[in-house]
Each structure stands twice: as C-alpha cells, then as structure tokens.
Amino acid sequence: MSKYWNSRVKNISPYVPGEQPRDRKFIKLNTNENPYPPSPKVIEAIQEAANERLRLYPDPQCTALRDAVARRYAVKSEQVFAGNGSDEILAFAFAAFFESNNGSKADSILFPDITYSFYPVYADLWDIPYRTIPVKEDFSINTADYKIPSGGAVFPNPNAPTGIPIPLSDVLSLAEYLEKQNKVLLVDEAYAAYGAESAVPFINKHSNILTVHTLSKSASLAGLRGGFAIGNSELIEGLCRVRDSFNSYTVDRLALAGAEAAVLDAAYYDGINRRVIATRERVTKTLRGRGFTVLPSAANFIFIKAPIEKTEPCISGADLMAALRERGLLVRHFNRNRIADYLRVSMGTDEEMDAFLEACVAIINSIGKTR
C-alpha cells in the first residue's frame, strides 16, 4: 500500500499472469503459448519493417491489418478493430459497452464463476458491477442461466481454463435475448481455432455480438502482442472512441507487419494447429487411460485432475503442480473454489508432452509406493 495510490488503485486486485521463467530451462505448459514457431512469412515481414520508417508513428487505424482480417473472415474492414493483444481489446470493450456505477448502481454484467480471471479485474478497474453465474456440475456453461436482466455478458468460447466449448446455437440464442435489451455479448474467441464454433458469421444478424481474437495462441505470436475484434461497425467505433481517449497508437509498426502476415498465412497456421489438436487428443486419451479426469477440451490446453482414490484425488492440484515443477515442467494451478484439484496443461510438442506424461505416471506411482 502506498499513500500515493488513489483509492481505485488501492482497491484493485490485479491479474497475475503465468510464470515466464528466466533462469532454469523448463518445459513451459503454463501459459497456452503455441509450441510451434510463427510462420516464416511473419518473421520476414517484421524484419522488413525494421527500417528507418520506425521514426514515424504507425497507422493509428491499423488499416492494412484490418483489411487482411476482413478478407480472411469475410467481413468488412469497418467491422474489425485491431489492438495490442486481446487483453487490451477486452479492457476497451468493458469500458465501451458495460455501464459503470455512476452515482447509482448499474445493472450487473454476467460471466461464469469459472472463467478467464481477467474479467473481474476489468470490471473492478472500470467500476462495473458484475455477477458470476455458476457453471454446471460438469463445468459446462448453461447460457439459459444468462437470460435474466443484466448489463450484458461475457465468456470465452471455448471457456477457459476448462476448454469446454459452448454450442453456437446457445451463443446465438443468448445474443438474441440480450439484443432485445440493447446489451452486448462479448464472445472471447481466444482459443476458437482449436475446435469451438465461431460467432463471426453472425455479426450481421446480431448487432450486439463482439467477438474478440488473439494472435498469441493460434498464430504463435504471444511475444508480438496482437489481437482483433470483429463485430458491428457501431461496436468497432465504440472501441475506437475508448482507444483514442487513451493511446491512439497501441499497435506498433513491427507488430502491424507481423500480424498482417500472420492473418494472411492461414495455410501455415492450419497445419500447426492441427498438430496441436492431434496432440491434445492423444494426451487426453493417455491420461484418461491412467485414471485422470480430463475435461472435454476444444482449446490448446486441457484441464485435468489426478486419479481418484476413495473420494479424493490421490494428489492435490497444488502438490501435483509442485511435483511437476521439480521435474522441470510448468503447468498452471488456480487456487479457487471448485477447481483447486485441477491443473491447466497447455499443449506442447509431442516430445514435450511425452515428458509430461512420463512425469505424471512417475509422480502417481511414487505416491502408491510411499503409502
């Protein structure tokens, strides 16, 4: 606590990102990065953009990148917003479309109790009241639970950290409900490339759907910081109004060049992401064969729980994470109600996942021996 902080800063609980180790060499399965490199065309484009023109500001409208996204997704450029990673776009979207408490209490926005842990942080930052809706016993989202008066709704599809996808028909039915109340539905499609059905083709049907996308996962560009949103042009203009009240140049020249090349090289990325999906299916099958619970994932990660002995998992989520760390493997644990026994494991290369599976088996076997 500092006496210089204002009350807003005193009261927020910032998001804690996954560890990026600097010393020891780990197999990193903790932040859902892509294990394969970006397209060579991306590297080339960035190298080409590293020239004397860096003395000039970048295009604040990100025109070339937005045109590339528009072509790829069969939408109009004015239906695309580009930003410095999708976290930034989500932060702008919360500020643009959800009502803050302003003298009187605004209607609460809705999101799942188990979901991306940045949502409550943005809500608190902008003083937007929110209510969490419990996911079902099997951790799936029941969109019917969201058909109540609210200030709008947000969830990832597939959800994180469970990886469970939401059927498109459910997303659209909720969008229709919210549209009648003039409320926005934010669909965070960070992991949609790994199996969920995108809502992008329905942005003309439902003017209140904003889909948010990232280049960090499926385009192997977490280090570049790039993302985009697709939705009705009025929503896009709302995002621009927030950005231009904050920082007009959020995407730099190198990132613009790299992001555009990534969006245009769908063939390369389809190839590597197919591999990630195949690895996910193989690892899921192997772990289930060993007695682990693995939720059905449509993402580039899985959410797992150690084999049950009597009624409890034979090792807690925190202990399994620590044991894996000792063996040089980083995974993510969320010490939160309902999911403390689970670990989120990002998909690495097949060799990395073999090392992970071997470590899991060794840890579980060693528990049996010490009893």
Contacting residues toward ligand PMP, per CB under 6 A: 85-87, 116, 156, 160, 188, 190, 214, 216, 222, 227
Cβ burial of 179 (10 Å; 0-12, 13-18, 19+) is middle
Nearer to ligand PMP, 16 or 56 (CB): 16
Give the chain's end-to-end CA distance (angstroms, integer).
45
Side by side, the strands of the sheet bearing 130-133 are 80-83, 227-231, 209-214, 185-188, 153-156, 109-112, 130-133
Smallest gap from residue 87 Cβ to ligand PMP (A): 3
Beta pairing, strands 342-346 & 209-214: unpaired
Compare residues 300 and 323 and give the one whose CB is closer to ligand PMP: 300
For ligand PMP, the closer CB: 87 or 265 = 87
Instruction: Output the smallest distance, CB 277 to ligand PMP, in A.
Output: 17
CB of 6: closest distance to ligand PMP in angstroms?
Answer: 25
Instruction: Compute the distance between CA of residue 154 and CA of residue 210 in angstroms, rounded to an integer.
Output: 10
Q: How far is the CB of 215 from ligand PMP (least distance, A)?
A: 7
Q: Which residues contact 301 (CB under 8 A, 6 or more apart)?
A: 29, 32, 160, 161, 163, 191, 280, 344, 345, 346, 347
Rounded to whole angstroms, the Cα distance separating 99 from 84 reads 23
Contact by Cβ (8 Å): 300, 283: no
Minimum Å distance from CB 114 to ligand PMP?
A: 12
Instruction: Quote the least distance from Cβ 158 to ligand PMP, whole Å.
Output: 9
One-letter amino acid of 79:
Q
> Based on CB atoms, which residue is closest to ligand PMP, 196 or 235?
196
For the bound state, the minimum distance from the C-beta of residue 157 to ligand PMP, rounded and expressed in Å, comes to 9
Q: Report the distance separating Cα 317 and Cα 339, nearest Å.
A: 9
Q: Please, what is the minimum distance in Å from the beta carbon of residue 326 to ligand PMP?
A: 25
Under a CB-based contact definition with an 8 Å cutoff, are residues 100 and 106 in contact?
yes
**Closer residue to ligand PMP in complex, CB, 125/315:** 125
**Nearest approach, Cβ of residue 275 and ligand PMP (Å):** 20
Contact between residue 184 and residue 97 where contact means Cβ atoms under 8 Å apart: yes
Conformational region of residue 103, where left means phi above 0, alpha means psi within -120 to 50, and beta covers everything else? left
Q: Which is nearer to ligand PMP, 151 or 227 (CB)?
A: 227
Helices 266-289 and 253-264 sit at what angle, rounded to 10 degrees?
A: 80
Integer-rounded Cα radius of gyration of the chain = 21
Helix (H) or strand (E) holding 28: strand 27-28
Nearer to ligand PMP (CB atom), residue 68 or residue 222: 222
Q: Which CB atom, from 84 or from 315, has the smaller least distance to ligand PMP?
A: 84
- Minimum CB distance to ligand PMP smaller for 92 or for 292: 92
Measuring CA to CA, how many Å separate 309 from each of 198, 244, 279, 338? 39, 56, 27, 18
